[in-house]
Amino acid sequence: MKNPSIGVIGLGFVGLTLAVVNAKKGFNTIAMDVNKTKIENYKKSNLDFFEPKLDYYSKQSIKKKKIFFTNNFEDISKADIIFVTVGTPSLKNGQINLSNLKSVILKLKKLFKNKKSKHLIVIKSTVIPTTTSNIIFKELKLLKNIGLVVNPEFLREGSAIDDLLTPHLIVIGSRNKKDANKLEDYYKLFYKKKIEIIKTDFSSAELIKYTNNAFLATKISFINSIANICQNIPNTDVNIISKAIGKDSRIGPLFLQAGAGFGGSCLPKDLNALINYSKKFDNVNSLFTAVKEVNDLQPKRIISLMKKDGILSKNKTVSILGLSFKKNTDDIRESISIKLVNHLLKHELEIKVHDPMAINNFKKIFSNKISYFNDVNECVKNSDCCIILTDWDEYKKLKVNDFKKMKEKTIIDGRRILDATKFSSCNFKAIGLGN
């Protein structure tokens, strides 16, 4: 069977990753975005965000001429299978903003209205249940040459390439077997081996994505709630507790790492959207609301630890190690570091920050309000308190000697990555550690 040509509309984190991986796998790929500057940069493999292996895959795809970057929407008509990956950001009330998606669908409707060639449109953008049925399908249903499926993504920032190449599951939502089978045939060509596929309807596929992220968020808020109990019981350590319950196959060890809370572009946004969507049903979102409340309060646990030690004073200096919401990415969206720095600035503290990847993104928000360092030792020098907010590998290797130039050796491990027993000479504190 001949490889279908692939189109991707919207070259953010998901779209660009999807496009370059398809091209690297040998599929002729049309990568489209309305941002002309972005397209010109991508043609030269000048990427505007960091993701492991992505730069290599991009350069290889360009070199082999398997990917075509464009800002001309009509070019997408050359693709057999078109993945829609435009963003669905949150509005202030938590509801998702569908304006970009609606715009794309209307353009596709106009583009294919008088064409006879057959195309499959694949919705990868994260949308609430009934969006595809009530909005997208209604616009496209009269186009007999267009198939439509929902195919949610489960990519983790920092592991996106690996997640695309070795997915735990493929979900396909459709109204008919023909459309679903066409996408399944593509995946058989893509993987060359059997991958588990669940076929369902539009709304179930949409809800699977939200359920997945809501459950992960729940596990994090759950273990953080346990950590907050441990904080008040001498000699208890939430790491021991999470390790123990993680051995239970019904629970599992993943997402049981206590810390300052979750951030990023997915979990907070999807949780807020699910809370907003479920308000229309009676008494079904109390759990999701509680998960959000726990996460919103978690950074204040760090503030509380600082307050007890008298560090919330304008003559104090605080160093923060880790700005991205997780390691192996420069993404600071909904990062705990932003919330914490905003709070500390109100107390007029001097703030020094370090991160291997996210410094430039942080500067766009805080400019000269804080100080930036490329070296950990220089960042912590003369500080009264050091707070670790991201589990970068280089931070896990830190020893007591790395903090010797601090004024007061108060260390708050917000990600539970240091061994407390090795920092007995410091005023060491960690989320979920009962001192």
Average pLDDT over residues 169-195: 95
Pair (128, 223) in one structural domain:
no
**E-strand stretches of 304-347:** 317-321
**Which tokens in the block code for residue 155?**
């990519």
The residues, any chain, with a CB within 8 Å of residue 142's CB and separated by 6 or more, are none
Q: Is the pLDDT of residue 272 over 80?
A: yes
Euclidean distance between CA atoms 238 and 416, whole angstroms: 9
Q: Tell me, what's the pLDDT at 1?
A: 63
Nearest to 96 by CA among 293, 265, 240: 265
Domain of residue 258: give its range. Answer: 210-430
What percent of the chain clears pLDDT 90, i.e. is strictly above it? 88
Name residue 83's beta-bridge partners.
Answer: 8, 122
**CA-closest candidate to residue 54, choices 82, 12, 4:** 12
Q: Are residues 168 and 218 in the same domain?
A: no
| Higher pLDDT, residue 265 or 124 | 124
Assigned token pair, 383:
């500080």
Question: Is residue 283 scored above 90 in pLDDT?
Answer: no
* Spatial distance between the Cα atoms of 193 and 59, rounded to a whole number of angstroms: 26
Query: Is the predicted pLDDT of residue 280 greater than 90, yes or no?
Result: no
Mean pLDDT for the stretch of residues 237-247: 95
- How far is 19 from 418, CA to CA, in rounded Å? 38
H or E element, residue 270: helix 267-278
Statement to judge: residues 314 and 273 lie in one domain: yes
> What pLDDT was estimated at residue 340?
95
pLDDT tens column, 318-340? 999 999 999 999 999 999 999 99
Beta strand 350-354 with 197-200: parallel, antiparallel or unpaired? unpaired
Percent of residues, the chain, with pLDDT higher than 70: 100
- Residue 190, pLDDT > 90, answer yes
Cα separations in angstroms, 12 against 73, 104, 111, 407: 16, 15, 23, 43
Query: How many domains are there within the chain?
Result: 2
pLDDT at residue 401 tops 70: yes
| Mean pLDDT score, 211-234 | 95
CATH number for position 143? 3.40.50.720
362 vs 142: which has the higher pLDDT:
362
244 and 380 in a single domain? The answer is: yes
Which residues are catalytically annotated? 266
**Gap between the Cα atoms of 248 and 420, Å rounded:** 26
Q: What is the pLDDT of residues 113-126, one digit of tens each?
A: 988 899 999 999 99
Mean per-residue pLDDT over the chain, rounded: 94
Residue 427 token pair? 């005023």
Tokens of residue 277, six digits: 């969507």
Has residue 268 got a pLDDT over 80? Answer: yes
Q: Range with the lowest mean pLDDT among 3-12, 147-156, 178-187, 307-316? A: 307-316
User: Which residues does 141 contact at the CB level (< 8 Å), separation at least 6?
Assistant: none
- Summarised one tens digit per residue, pLDDT across range 63-102 is 999 999 999 999 999 999 999 999 999 998 989 999 999 9
Of the residues 199, 228, 263, the one at which a domain ends:
199
Same-domain pairing of 164 and 238:
no
On whether residue 242 sits in a domain, the answer given is: yes
First to last CA, the chain: 64
